[in-house]
Amino acid sequence: MMSGDRQHHIIFMPSGLRGHVPDGTLLMDAARQLGVELESICSGQGTCHKCRVHIESGEFPKHGITSDETHLSPPTVREQQSFDKAVNATFRLACQARIEGDLLVSVPETSLAHKQIIRKSANTQRPLTIKPAVRPLFVTVEPAKLDVQPGDWERLQAALAQQHQLSGLRINLHALRKLQRTLRAGDWQTTIILREDRDILDVRPGYQDTVYGVAVDVGTTTVVAHLCDLRTGAVLATEAAMNPQVAHGEDVMSRISYVMMQPNGLDTLHRAIIDTLNRLIASAAESAGVAAEHIYDMVVVGNTTMTHLFLGISPLEIGRAPFALAARDALDVPAHDLKLKLNPAASVYVLPALGGHIGADTLAVLLAESPHTGEDISLVVDVGTNAEVVIGNRHWMVAASSPTGPAFEGAQISHGMRAASGAIEKVRIDPQTREPRFRIIGSESWSNVSNGLPSVRPVGICGSGIIDVVAELFLAGILLPDGRFNPDLQSDRLLWQDDVAAYVLADAEQTAHGQAIVITQKDVRSIQLAKGALYAGIKLMMARAGVDHVDRIVLAGAFGSHIDTERAMILGMIHDCDLRQVYAVGNAAGDGARIALLNVDKRQEARQIVDHVAYVELATDAGFQEAFVGALPLPHSTDAFPHLKDKLPAAASSPTTNITDRRARARLRNPARKRPES
Amino acid sequence: MMSGDRQHHIIFMPSGLRGHVPDGTLLMDAARQLGVELESICSGQGTCHKCRVHIESGEFPKHGITSDETHLSPPTVREQQSFDKAVNATFRLACQARIEGDLLVSVPETSLAHKQIIRKSANTQRPLTIKPAVRPLFVTVEPAKLDVQPGDWERLQAALAQQHQLSGLRINLHALRKLQRTLRAGDWQTTIILREDRDILDVRPGYQDTVYGVAVDVGTTTVVAHLCDLRTGAVLATEAAMNPQVAHGEDVMSRISYVMMQPNGLDTLHRAIIDTLNRLIASAAESAGVAAEHIYDMVVVGNTTMTHLFLGISPLEIGRAPFALAARDALDVPAHDLKLKLNPAASVYVLPALGGHIGADTLAVLLAESPHTGEDISLVVDVGTNAEVVIGNRHWMVAASSPTGPAFEGAQISHGMRAASGAIEKVRIDPQTREPRFRIIGSESWSNVSNGLPSVRPVGICGSGIIDVVAELFLAGILLPDGRFNPDLQSDRLLWQDDVAAYVLADAEQTAHGQAIVITQKDVRSIQLAKGALYAGIKLMMARAGVDHVDRIVLAGAFGSHIDTERAMILGMIHDCDLRQVYAVGNAAGDGARIALLNVDKRQEARQIVDHVAYVELATDAGFQEAFVGALPLPHSTDAFPHLKDKLPAAASSPTTNITDRRARARLRNPARKRPES
């Protein structure tokens, strides 16, 4: 049917790519020549129906053509079969239809080879091209015949070379074991699952296009798994659970101690996280109606201790100088070596770390927020037990881990707790009455003394609540700039003992356990030390980079998405910045893991980021201690908050000692406390 | 110390390679430039002491030089350390000593990079260069330091790039898990075990050069494992055991039936062979004083059913037309996927097969006997349940599987048994008296009626004994050329019943179980069918190749090494050939496996052989039946045996029926049989 004499004018919409092709050209070939990559799992066999396009009919004077179905060869048998399944018969298969006249072709998004999804980033919508490591390929294999000695595997390779121009492929034992059964079950038609055009992970009978992956963020406290469709990029299910290692230590250092002290410590922690991931994945697969054996890829991020424990590598060296990682680079390991219950040939990609104390989770945040691609100077802060800080733009980046301690997570705070149900997460203090209001996780409304008891009763206070309360205590004049409780102040919320005060945030009768929730002087000091360390680290890094401002602040992590950024800045926790340019991006590490799962180029980009970033060791910086001490007062600077300036109290001259307020002390008792209703 | 002005004359012995090098050149570099590859595991660090050479001292007028120790730089500290360990201090380390005058250098075999071993082949001694897939490399890694963010893995890679010019290496999870501990235990010196300059299998502290491999021949009946030193090529231990699958079927077809009929048949047979291999390997390692975790490579051969079962791949398709293999090509699988107890990162290389019924064992025989490299036409026969036959030379080769049935293995023979203790393996029959003598496996001497009872008593007859007895019965005139017992013959060894005779080979009182061992007419027919099939196959293959003779016959397998080649030729079992050119090569398949283990180039050669050999399907050849019928008489041809011609009896005219010889029948009874002494 091919005759080179006549040329037809073809326009593909919505891209507008156009050109002339000879009469008889396959629509698929014309698209490829003009730069429109159509999806084709079956490589033109008319089986997968992925290359459906719509032919616009009519006069298109703007384009100077007339387009019509009659300008194509008649539908083939394969196309007619596809029409039976398709909703709209005006679609044609590009791999079947030959061009016999001018055409205006509409290509639906779903027929494009490299689909895009739009994902939300801090201050923008970013497109992500779907380019997974693993893809399905449909292939028809020559049947076994007497006198044909090559085995099924060799004939499959020959078919792949002929139909998909692929050679040098490898097959694993698991796929090889099912190969003969599969080929015969599919009547010599099979879908192979191919990884990076090299490894055949699986063989499945007939045409099948379901391939899935999991993106995992292993946090010290929380583990999150996103089950994704590797063809469409859609998130099918997200499951989260407490990291079971919490039972053996709240923070990274206590996990490392556990490994050091317990005979099977490493194995216990490793098995715990693997078991939890298997449970999360099974549950995600079930809720999405997906077979776990069709999950072929997994990307994992976490801090360096978490990724080491996940891989079963001892984190001991991370816990002691010189803090050497076993591997900083990205790692690619077989899922079954880790006893993960995915497809037996699935592999696990762990994103690289930046250094001993800045892990793949931070790199994933960078991948999601792309500070390394723009001109604006970004400050990315991921607050956890330590705060990981990255500053820079496309020309330079510096990263450091700031030894904040666990105060921001609610640890080492008198009534501190994790951000779980019952935790006070937001606090406001009336500057006149010094009376508090608070909001509790699990409740939509604010507590109000005038309203009586809150519907959900608090059990403690989490990180964002602590930031709030210390900032509010300062704004209400209860705390002095040096962090001491104002000794000149009279308030029935203040409780004094031996010169040391505490603020009663919730009366004993308000709480779930019948004990008052108080903020002590020691709690305030802990927050001062933590914010001082973070601020000093950022200041040093900016000095190293030779900049005196940042254009944008990105707060990552669950903590970052809950804190009140204005209060955090009042505390002097993060550097001054236009508040409109401060973004809380939630689980950006999980987003980064998902990005690396859906697009292999992003894995390469992650490794390039490692080379782009200069790691700064704050612990050994001579200037750190001075900067730290200078960053302890509340607030460090108010330049960014002209509207707050008049709200800020003047420093008190001297403390008044040995004041005991009976009303305040009474708040600690709850004589009428009844059992909570069951 | 380098000064390019002066040149020195250097001669390396025993190769005689010589040339001039500038003053100050390292002996190692001079050797490399002149084509002498010295071993160097430590890459010139003076640690491994493998590059020791001897400096000849004195006047060498033939070479026109004076050579002396003083013509080298003084011994370095590293060399002095090596002298403490060396027996002879006149050795120098080529990687340390610099040339300062003319030298005559003797290089011991042990210092050569590519060692050779001499191995016996059928009619020659063949050198084999040791070039294993796995080798140790010594490397010194930069210690971890504060402010150095790359992990231990990245610093190991940097050291390998710098000290050994290796890049793009991969490490497995097992090695990565022990990396940090190992580097610190070896004070940052480590030996890595590298596979094909790509994969780091293991990391071991300090300098270690022990790397081992196993070559395995999985026979239907017997499994043999050779434990080899991958550096020297030495066989350290050989262990053999019965294939435990025998309990589920004697031959290949019955194993396939077992897989088909039993719910967990495949798994049972797979586990059985793996367990046996693990036992053999453990036992070989123990007797050689070697740690099993230092075994990093394994090569496996076997017939197609055996290799499929070994890999856990169902052999069902091999058992039914069109006899498709899952894979014909060589396979490389992780040992731990098979639960083999070697180093966790060891891999298993299964040699390719030639076709559905000619497996890796036959290819291994070809690798060992090299019929594909010479001009002589070789006939290679491996007799088992089927006989695999390969004919050809460097220009062409044909291969086929001949359906001999299991008679040659002693199966389907009245008193047949495997070649085990108590089996009659050799038989001679006096042409005058028609009295037999035999030799039994486990006994050195021949039975002799005049000697009374043999010291070891027979329980049956094995394959080689059956060949012998049928040939001898024919030579003694007891069998007619058409295979019938001669009805005209009077002998008290012949027992007749309803026209059908049997020959009493061992009296009831001679045997271990008190029952006579007889050769029946049916037994003779079975041997005729088997040898007819084998002969017909060979004849057809020769016809296909257009040749009418072979220059050399190689009989492989345990059976091949036990049969009397003259008797086999009298039977017409194999084609005529000068008897001096008939070789029984024993376990050549095991030798071939060992060759592929010790030299990776031979693995490539094996794959080239597959391409070189044309596979012939005899079952579908129209001429087979005719050739088969024509090959049934005894013997088929005696052209090759002029010395036997006069021994051969004339054909009898007609059978005499209903003769019963009482003396013969009496041999079946053993009224005086006592219990064997315990």
pLDDT digits (tens, 9 = 90+) for B571-628: 888 777 788 888 888 889 999 999 999 999 999 999 999 999 998 888 778 888 888 8
Identify the pLDDT of residue A653: 37
| CA dist., res. B578 & res. A114, Å (int) | 70
Identify the pLDDT of residue A658: 36
Residue A337 or A658, more confident: A337
Identify the pLDDT of residue A547: 93
A328 and B149: CB-CB below 8 Å?
yes
| pLDDT over 50 (residue A35) | yes
Contacts of B176 in chain A (CB under 8 A): 311, 313, 326-327, 331
Identify the pLDDT of residue B64: 86
Nearest Cα residue in chain A from B328: A151
B615 touches chain A (CB under 8 A): yes
B325 and A147: CB-CB below 8 Å?
no
Encode pLDDT of A465-475 as tens digits.
Answer: 999 999 999 99
Q: Which of A102-106, A382-386, B551-555 has the lowest mean pLDDT?
A: A382-386
DSSP 8-state symbol, A660: -
pTM over 0.90: no
B312 touches chain A (CB under 8 A): yes
- Interface probe, candidates A146, A148, A149, chain B, greatest B C-beta count within 10 A: A149
Identify the pLDDT of residue A634: 86
Share of chain A above pLDDT 70, in %: 90
Q: Return the percent helix, strand and coil in chain B, to nearest 5.
A: 35, 25, 40
**How wide is the angle at C-alpha B216 spanned by C-alphas B215 and B219, nearest 5°?**
155
Contacts of B326 in chain A (CB under 8 A): 151-153, 176-177, 179-180
pLDDT confidence bin for A652, thresholds 50/70/90: very low
Contacts of A144 in chain B (CB under 8 A): 317, 322, 324
| CA dist., res. A409 & res. A423, Å (int) | 12
In angstroms, what CA-CA distances link A524 with A576, A641, A664?
21, 22, 18
A328 and B146: CB-CB below 8 Å?
no
| CA dist., res. A327 & res. A335, Å (int) | 18
Average pLDDT over residues A512-532: 91
What is residue B296's three-state secondary structure? Answer: strand
**How wide is the angle at C-alpha B653 spanned by C-alphas B651 and B654, nearest 5°?**
120
Average pLDDT over residues A554-559: 81
B342 shares a domain with B220: yes
Selecting from B148, B174, B317 the residue whose C-beta is nearest the C-beta of A180 gives: B317
Selecting from B179, B324, B337 the residue whose C-beta is nearest the C-beta of A326 gives: B179
| pLDDT over 50 (residue A654) | no
pLDDT confidence bin for A478, thresholds 50/70/90: very high
Single out the residue in B340, B357, B374 at which a domain terminates. Answer: B357
pLDDT confidence bin for A644, thresholds 50/70/90: low
Identify the pLDDT of residue B640: 46
Q: Which of A624-638, B453-467, B516-530 has the highest mean predicted lDDT (pLDDT)?
A: B516-530
Q: Which of A167-171, A673-677, B251-255, B569-573 has the highest mean predicted lDDT (pLDDT)?
A: A167-171
A615 and B177: CB-CB below 8 Å?
no
Whether B559 is in a domain gets the answer no
Identify the pLDDT of residue B88: 54
Contacts of A179 in chain B (CB under 8 A): 326-327
Nearest Cα residue in chain A from B325: A151
Query: Chain B closest CA to A22's CA: distance in Å?
Result: 42
A43 shares a domain with A141: no
DSSP 8-state symbol, B38: B
How are beta strands B134-140 and B170-171 bridged, if at all? unpaired
Q: Where are the alpha helices (DSSP H) in A476-577?
A: 521-545, 557-562, 565-571
User: For residue B217, what are the β-bridge partners?
Assistant: B224, B301
Query: Chain A closest CA to B187's CA: distance in Å?
Result: 15
B309 touches chain A (CB under 8 A): no
Instruction: Check: CB of residue B280 under 8 Å from CB of residue B292.
Output: no
User: For residue A331, what are the β-bridge partners?
Assistant: A350
Residue B596 or A678, more confident: B596
Residue with tokens 């460097």: B394
What is residue B278's three-state secondary structure? Answer: helix
B313 and A176: CB-CB below 8 Å?
yes
Average pLDDT over residues B71-79: 88
Whether A644 is in a domain gets the answer no
Contacts of A321 in chain B (CB under 8 A): 146
Q: Where are the alpha helices (DSSP H) in A358-487?
A: 360-369, 463-475
pLDDT confidence bin for B668, thresholds 50/70/90: low
CATH number, domain at A66? 3.10.20.30
Please choose, from the candidates B45, B9, B61, the residue with its C-alpha nearest in 3D space to the C-alpha of residue B30: B9
A329 and B180: CB-CB below 8 Å?
no
Instruction: Check: CB of residue B610 under 8 Å from CB of residue B328.
Output: yes
B39 shares a domain with B20: yes
Q: Which of A608-612, B141-145, B261-265, B437-441 has the lowest mean pLDDT?
A: B437-441
B316 touches chain A (CB under 8 A): yes
Selecting from A153, A181, A324 the residue whose C-beta is nearest the C-beta of B180 gives: A324
A615 and B149: CB-CB below 8 Å?
yes
Q: A527 φ, ψ to 5°?
A: -65, -40
Nearest Cα residue in chain B from A309: B177
Q: B454 φ, ψ to 5°?
A: -70, 155
B352 shares a domain with B259: yes
| CA dist., res. B86 & res. B76, Å (int) | 15
Residue with tokens 């005038």: A450
B223 shares a domain with B182: no
A160 shares a domain with A293: no
Query: How many CB atoms lie under 10 A from the CB of residue B201?
Result: 22
Identify the pLDDT of residue B451: 56
User: For residue A301, what are the β-bridge partners?
Assistant: A217
- Cβ burial A235-258 (10 Å sphere, 16+ → b, else e): bbbbbeeebbbbebbbbbbbbbbb
Beta-carbon contacts below 8 Å between A and B: 139
Identify the pLDDT of residue B660: 44
| CA dist., res. B617 & res. B353, Å (int) | 15
| pLDDT over 80 (residue A619) | no
| pLDDT over 70 (residue A451) | no
| pLDDT over 80 (residue B406) | no
Range of the domain at A100: 7-111
B152 and A325: CB-CB below 8 Å?
yes
Residue with tokens 């390679």: B17
A291 shares a domain with A224: yes
| CA dist., res. A453 & res. B248, Å (int) | 77
Whether B646 is in a domain gets the answer no
Average pLDDT over residues A372-382: 93
Residue with tokens 């420093």: A651
Residue with tokens 């105060």: A407
B228 shares a domain with B352: yes
Q: What is the mean pLDDT of chain A?
A: 87
pLDDT confidence bin for A304, thresholds 50/70/90: very high
| pLDDT over 90 (residue B293) | yes
Identify the pLDDT of residue A86: 53
Whether A503 is in a domain gets the answer no
Q: B399 φ, ψ to 5°?
A: -135, 145
Whether B31 is in a domain gets the answer yes
Annotate B328-364 with three-state secondary structure: CCCEEEEHHHHCCCCCCCCEEEECCCCECCECHHHHH
| CA dist., res. B623 & res. B355, Å (int) | 21
Within 8 A by CB and 6+ apart from B371, the residues are: B378, B380, B390, B392, B393, B397, B552, B554
Residue A412 or B145, more confident: B145
ipTM value of the model?
Answer: 0.86
**How wide is the angle at C-alpha A282 spanned by C-alphas A281 and A287, nearest 5°?**
95
CATH number, domain at B303? 3.30.420.480
B198 touches chain A (CB under 8 A): no
B224 shares a domain with B199: no
| CA dist., res. A266 & res. A256, Å (int) | 9
A331 touches chain B (CB under 8 A): yes
Average pLDDT over residues A375-388: 87
B322 touches chain A (CB under 8 A): yes
CATH number, domain at B146? 3.10.20.880
Residue B14 or B22, more confident: B22
Instruction: Check: CB of residue A589 under 8 Å from CB of residue A390.
Output: no
Encode pLDDT of B141-191 as tens digits.
Answer: 999 998 788 999 999 999 999 999 999 999 999 999 999 999 999 999 999
A149 touches chain B (CB under 8 A): yes
B24 shares a domain with B46: yes
Please choose, from the candidates B570, B444, B438, B432, the residue with its C-alpha nearest in 3D space to the C-alpha of residue B517: B438
Whether B575 is in a domain gets the answer no
Q: A619 φ, ψ to 5°?
A: -60, -30
Contacts of A311 in chain B (CB under 8 A): 173, 176-177
Tokens standing for residue B405: 């049935």
Q: Is the peptide bond before B322 cis (omega within 30 degrees of 0)?
A: yes
Within its chain, how far is the Cα of B340 from the centroid? Answer: 20
What is residue A634's three-state secondary structure? Answer: coil
Tokens standing for residue B84: 């403490």
Whether B323 is in a domain gets the answer yes
Instruction: Give the torsion through C-alpha atoms of A504, A510, A513, A519, to 10 deg.
Output: -20
B337 touches chain A (CB under 8 A): yes
Supply the DSSP string of B209-226, one letter for each residue: ---EEEEEEE-SSEEEEE
Identify the pLDDT of residue A656: 39
Q: Which of A23-37, B87-101, B551-565, B592-606 has the highest mean predicted lDDT (pLDDT)?
A: B592-606
A144 and B177: CB-CB below 8 Å?
no
| pLDDT over 80 (residue A299) | yes
B179 and A314: CB-CB below 8 Å?
no
Supply the DSSP string of B521-542, one letter for each residue: HHHHHHHHHHHHHHHHHHHHHH
pLDDT confidence bin for A326, thresholds 50/70/90: very high
Within its chain, how far is the Cα of A518 from the centroid? Answer: 35
B267 touches chain A (CB under 8 A): no
DSSP 8-state symbol, A277: H
Number of domains in chain B: 3
Residue B487 or B339, more confident: B339
Task: Return the amino acid letter for A357.
Answer: H
Whether A382 is in a domain gets the answer no
Identify the pLDDT of residue A647: 54
- Cβ burial A198-227 (10 Å sphere, 16+ → b, else e): ebbbbbbbebbbebbbbbbbbbbbbbbbbb
Identify the pLDDT of residue A672: 45
Nearest Cα residue in chain A from B329: A154
Share of chain B above pLDDT 70, in %: 90
| pLDDT over 80 (residue A559) | no
Single out the residue in B56, B77, B111 at which a domain terminates. Answer: B111
Selecting from A151, A327, A620 the residue whose C-beta is nearest the C-beta of B176 gives: A327
In angstroms, what CA-CA distances link B2 with B6, B31, B96, B339, B479?
10, 17, 14, 55, 86
Q: Which of B74-88, B256-270, B384-398 has the highest mean predicted lDDT (pLDDT)?
A: B256-270
A173 and B316: CB-CB below 8 Å?
no
B397 touches chain A (CB under 8 A): no
Query: Chain A closest CA to B111's CA: distance in Å?
Result: 35
Query: Chain A closest CA to B144's CA: distance in Å?
Result: 6
Please choose, from the candidates A249, A545, A554, A523, the residue with its C-alpha nearest in 3D space to the C-alpha of residue A387: A554
Average pLDDT over residues B502-530: 91
B644 touches chain A (CB under 8 A): no
Query: How many CB atoms lie under 10 A from the CB of residue B608?
Result: 11
In angstroms, what CA-CA distances link A10 with A16, A108, A478?
10, 16, 75
Instruction: Give the torsion through C-alpha atoms of A52, A54, A55, A56, to 10 deg.
Output: -170
| pLDDT over 50 (residue A655) | no
A322 and B173: CB-CB below 8 Å?
no
A611 touches chain B (CB under 8 A): no
Q: Which of A486-495, B256-265, B335-344 has the lowest mean pLDDT?
A: A486-495
Give B62's Cβ-side CA count (13 Å radius).
3
Query: Chain A closest CA to B383's CA: distance in Å?
Result: 21
Q: Which of A307-316, A498-507, B451-460 has the highest mean predicted lDDT (pLDDT)?
A: A307-316
Single out the residue in B154, B179, B205 at which a domain terminates. Answer: B205
Encode pLDDT of A197-242 as tens digits.
Answer: 999 999 999 999 999 999 999 998 889 999 999 999 999 999 999 9
A30 shares a domain with A100: yes
pLDDT confidence bin for B37, thresholds 50/70/90: confident
Please choose, from the candidates B416, B470, B324, B30, the residue with its C-alpha nearest in 3D space to the C-alpha of residue A155: B324
B328 and A150: CB-CB below 8 Å?
yes
In terms of Cβ atoms closer than 10 Å to its own Cβ (0-12, 13-18, 19+), residue A564 is: buried
A71 touches chain B (CB under 8 A): no
Nearest Cα residue in chain A from B267: A177
Selecting from B177, B313, B326 the residue whose C-beta is nearest the C-beta of A313 gives: B177
B329 and A145: CB-CB below 8 Å?
no
- CA terminus-to-terminus distance, chain A: 81
| pLDDT over 60 (residue B86) | no
Interface of A with B in 202-221 (CB under 8 A): none
| pLDDT over 60 (residue B646) | no
Q: Which of B227-236, B260-269, B519-528, B616-625 has the lowest mean pLDDT?
A: B616-625
B196 shares a domain with B225: no
DSSP 8-state symbol, A406: G
Within 8 A by CB and 6+ apart from B253, the residues are: B319, B385
Identify the pLDDT of residue A88: 54
